[in-house]
Amino acid sequence: PVVAPLLRVMRQLRSPEVGVPITISQLSRLSVPSLLLRLARRGLIYLALQVAHYLGLSTDTVVEEWAVQTIAAGSDTSDDRLFDHLHVRLRDHGVSFASASATAWKMGRKDLAKKLLNHETRASEQVPLMITLGEDRQALVKACESMDSDLVHLTLLHLLRRHPPHDLALMCRKLPLAVSLLLSYTRHRDPASLPQMLTDLDRPLEAAQESLREACEAPDPGKRRRLLEQLGKALGGSKHEGVRAVAQAARDEALVAECLLELEGQAGL
């Protein structure tokens, strides 16, 4: 802001009604946005808004602070009434709902926090707080809707600490981006569990194919034959035609492995 408007603002701040005798050098060190926040925290919301408008600055922090104070002072107000009051102001000013939601959560008003958070438009602000509130499935859905793979990946990592892999797979089933990242993570961190993860994701054919690949890659011929025989038996009764085909392939590979063992035995005689 240019000097002349700042001088007018400082003159207003020095008035007895406000009582903030700040100098231009102090203001330059503090910054005007910080001054606005301090005014708002002193309860001078209207003055802070006036100053922001006069200097052409954003009012976001002032409105967010107003929301925090409104929640703190609204202990006797129902969640529905308080939400209606907050929603109108925050929406009209285009301000984030996240800080108000976090304040409601800290004050033990979980239902109000959820209502406010549902109206937050920035997934990067919304998803972490949803996880804090225990809204794990909704957090994962919102992360996927944002199409931000980094956010989805971080969400999955958080949820892996809370849920068994089977339960997390069920959460992900209808979320293609989450499924893709979860499978990629499993392949990298715990490849042995990949067939089970594919099964939990309702991908029986891929699970069978992965199991067949693992069995075929067993370095010891004897172990390879046993794994293939077990796989053929385990998959043979499947109702899925593709899985039954994998079972037959496993049995065929088991016969090949058995022949190799016999040839090795004869060569050793």
Gap between the Cα atoms of 127 and 215, Å rounded: 40
Q: Residue 32: which pLDDT band, with cuts at 50, 70 and 90?
A: confident
Q: Is the pLDDT of residue 264 over 70?
A: no
Gap between the Cα atoms of 113 and 117, Å rounded: 6
Whole-angstrom CA distances from 187 to 122, 134, 215, 231 are: 31, 27, 16, 20
Gap between the Cα atoms of 58 and 52, Å rounded: 6
pLDDT in tens, 46-62: 888 888 888 888 888 89
pLDDT in tens, 101-153: 998 998 888 899 999 998 888 899 899 999 988 889 999 999 999 999 999 99
pLDDT in tens, 6-29: 778 777 777 777 777 777 778 778
Q: Is the pLDDT of residue 2 over 60?
A: no
Domain boundaries, given as residue ranges, for the chain: 1-58, 60-121, 134-192, 203-269
What is the structure's pLDDT at 186?
92
Higher pLDDT, 68 or 222: 68
Q: Is the pLDDT of residue 79 over 70?
A: yes
Tokens of 190: 């715990």
Choose among 89, 79, 151: nearest CA to 114.
Answer: 79
Element (H, E) at 170: helix 165-172
Higher pLDDT, 139 or 243: 139
What is the structure's pLDDT at 253?
81
Q: Note if the pTM is more than 0.85.
A: no
